[in-house]
Chain A
Amino acid sequence: MTFKDILKITFNLVVLYLAGGLLLAAVYAKTSPIIYKNNELEKARALKEMMPEADEICYIFEFTDERLNKLRDKGVPEEIINKLKELQNEKMIKGKEEFFKTLEEMLGAEAVENYKSLLFKTLKANDWYPHGKHAEYFITKKDGQVIGYIVQTFGKGYSSYINILFSVDTGFIVQKIEILHHAETPGLGDEIELDWFKNQFKGKDIEHLKVDKTGTKKEYIQAITGATISTRAVSEDGIKNGILFLQKALKGEVEHGSA
C-alpha cells in the first residue's frame, strides 16, 4: 500500500463518515422533539387507561430548600420563593390542574403563568430512576380518597430496557399493566405486548409475581415460550421492583433527587 493509498483511504473514511454523521444528526435534531412529544402523549393516554375509575391522577410536590434554590437559579423572583417557603414542610399531593390553582391563590395568576412549566418541573417529586432511567409514579384518587397508585418502571429484558406502566390498589395488588416501549426479539419476546400476557398480572400480589416455566403453577406468572428473560424482565425486574420501591417511597424512606 502506497502513501497515496493511505491518504485516499483516510479521505474516503473521513468524508463518508462525516456525511453520515451529519445526516443522522440532522434527522435526529428534526425528529427527536416530535418523538419525545409522541412518547409523552402515549404515556398520558396510557395513564388514563391504567385506572379508569380514578377521577384524579396526582403528583407529589415538595418545597425543599434544594428545589427552591434551583428555582432561584433559574431566575424566579425572590418574592415568589419566599411565599413558597411557607410550604417548606408540606408535601402536596395534587393533580396538575389543582396544583396550579393552589399556586395561583398564593402567588397570583400572573406569576404562575410566567413560570408555569418551570415550577411544575422543579417542584415535582414523583420521579425515580430504575436502571438509571427516568420514570415516575402517581397517586390516584377518587372523590378525594386515595384508591391506588400507578408506577412507571423499567425491566432489563433480552435486548432492551422494557418501559412498563402498571397500577396497584392500596393493598399493592396489581390491577393493570401496559408495555410502553421495548425492543425485544420479534416473534418471541415481543409477546409481552399481547393481552393474554398482560391480563395474567391482574390480582397478583408481590409474592405471586414469580415466573413459572413449567406451565403447571397457574397462580404465578406464566413464562412466554422461548422468552423467559423478557417475561422475568417484566414481572420480577420491572413490576416487583416497582412495587418494592413504591412501598418504600410511601413510607418516606426514599430521598427524592430533584429532576
Chain B
Amino acid sequence: MEVPEEKISYLQLIKNGVFKENTIFRLVISLCPSIAVTTSIKNGFLLGIAVLFVQTMVNTTVGLLRNFIHPRIRIPIFMLIISGWVSVVDMLMAAYARETYKEIGLYIQIIVAFASILARAEMFASKHRVDYSFFDGFGSGLGFLIALVIISFFRELLGKGTLLGYSIVHAKPLLIMVMPTGGFLVVGLLMGFFNWIDMRFYGGKGAGGAGGH
C-alpha cells in the first residue's frame, strides 16, 4: 500500500529539524535530559552527539520497517527499536572504543527514555520513505545538538564562569545557573528569544509544544 509521496528535498528536511521543528525550542520535548545534562558545554555536546546518532539510526530503521509494523502496536515496536539500538551501541562501544565509551557511555544509556526519539519515529519516520526518514532523523538530532550546546554555553558561562573548562569570568559564579532552576530559566529565555524571531521576522505563531520529558 505504498502511497506515492511528494518530493521533499533533503536539505529542507535537515533545516526543518534544526529550526522549524527544533526538539527543544519548538516542540518542547525531552526537556528533562536537556536540563539535567547542560551544565557544561562538553556534557551538552556529548549528549547531542549520542542523540544525533541514535535518532538517525532509529528513524532509518522505522522508515525501513514501517510497512511491516501494524499501526496498533507501533509504540512497543518503536521502543524495541530504540532500546535495541541503544544497547547495541552501548555494548559495541564498551568493547571496541573504550576511551570514547568512558566519555560518552553515560549519555548513551539514558537515551532510551527520550521522548524526542519516539516522537520523531511516530511523527515522521512511520509515515515516510527510508531516505527521508534518515535525513529527518539527522536534522532533528542536529537541532537537538545545537540547542544543547547553546543552552550549556550560557549555563556554563554564568554558573561556573568557565567555557569548555577554561576559566573566563573571574567573579563568583551564579550557582543557581548550574542547578535545574537555572536550566529552566535559560531554556525559557532562549525559547522566548526564538519565538520572538519567529513572530517578528517570519510571521509565525510561536512554539506550542505539549511538553514532555
Binding site for B on A (CB under 8 A): 1, 5, 8-9, 12-13, 16-17, 20, 23-24, 27-28, 30-32, 34-35, 38, 183-188, 190, 225-226
Contact = CB atoms under 8 A, between A and B. Distances in A.
Judged by DSSP, the binding face of A is helix
Interface string B70-102: 101100110011001001100110111010000
Interface string B95-127: 110100000001101100000000000000000
A28 B87 CA distance: 9
17 contacts: A9-B70, A12-B68, A12-B73, A13-B77, A16-B80, A23-B84, A23-B88, A27-B87, A35-B95, A183-B109, A184-B106, A186-B47, A187-B37, A187-B39, A188-B36, A188-B39, A225-B179
A38 B179 contact: no
Given A23-B88, A190-B106, A9 B73 contact: yes
Given A12-B68, A226-B179, A31 B80 contact: no
A16 B37 CA distance: 33
Contact of B80 (A8, A9, A20): A20
A1 B72 CA distance: 10
A115 B25 CA distance: 63
Given A31-B92, A186-B47, A8 B37 contact: no
A32 B87 CA distance: 12
A185 B179 contact: no
B22 interface: no
B16 interface: no
Contacts of A186: 36-37, 43, 46-47, 106-107, 110
Interface of B: 36-40, 43, 46-47, 65, 68-70, 72-73, 76-77, 80-81, 84, 87-88, 91-92, 94-96, 98, 106-107, 109-110, 175, 178-180
A13 B36 contact: no
A34 B80 CA distance: 25
Given A20-B84, A225-B179, A226-B180, A31 B94 contact: yes
A8 B36 CA distance: 41
A31 B91 contact: yes
Nearest to B183: A187
B192 to A, nearest CB: 23
